[in-house]
Amino acid sequence: MSHDTINGYNLSRNWFNWAFDNPEKISPNHSAIYFFAIEHNNRLGWRKKFGFPSQMTMDAIGIKKHSTYIRYFNDLVDWGFFELIQKSQNQYSSNIISLINAMPKKGEALDKAMVNHAAKQSETIGQSKGSIYKQETKKQITSKFIPPTIIKIKDYCTERKNRVDPNKFYNHYESNGWLVGKNKMKNWKAAVRNWENNNFASDTNKIPKYKAL
């Protein structure tokens, strides 16, 4: 492959394609060394092979120990992202490397791993949203009815200016477990309005019959 085709765009895409396929192998230091090599070669005008100074790279990416740097550097060689043309003698000299082999091969599908990763992520997000929706729906369905106090009933009756006896209302439903017919009450204010509409005032003993609330 001609070195004229080397460019940072394809080099970076090929790296991330491989990284998504091999997440257990890579670390931030691998990426830092690799992308510093791309930047360095870019400044040199995209040479087919070039000197890659160890100490300069370590200083640039914050690696203190040469042994640590060499371990990550050798991984990149083993994985085919660096072609080692000539090995440096020590940390103060340069490895001669090439990025030619890091370029995607002709006809190779770029971004396949990233597309698959994005699809899996979307599926996971969809499942999460579905789970949250189910939980919220279940919570709404199983929401527990909280019986009102006599004071709340009195205040509501006063607000509506009706003749419903708050004490009789409270005692009636408290005695039957706040049931409307055979069903658990859902809305006590609606029950008050039903008493009101059925003319169950304070001077009558008639209990209104109506649908479950």
pLDDT for position 2: 43
Q: Which residue has the higher pLDDT, 124 or 158?
A: 158
pLDDT digits (tens, 9 = 90+) for 87-111: 998 889 999 999 988 887 765 555 5
pTM: 0.52
Do both 98 and 146 map to the same domain?
no
Q: What is the mean pLDDT of residues 23-34?
A: 95
Judged against a pLDDT cut of 60, whether residue 134 lies above it is answered with yes
pLDDT digits (tens, 9 = 90+) for 166-193: 999 999 999 999 999 889 999 999 999 9
pLDDT for position 139: 59
- Report yes or no on 118 lying in a domain: no
- Report yes or no on 19 lying in a domain: yes
- Report yes or no on 119 lying in a domain: no
- Report yes or no on 63 lying in a domain: yes
Q: Which residue has the higher pLDDT, 112 or 1?
A: 112
CATH of the domain at 46: 1.10.10
Residues in the chain: 213
pLDDT digits (tens, 9 = 90+) for 35-62: 999 999 999 999 999 999 999 999 999 9
- Report yes or no on 117 lying in a domain: no
pLDDT for position 29: 96
Do both 148 and 95 map to the same domain?
no
Give every CB contact of residue 7 below 8 A, 6+ residues apart in sequence.
46
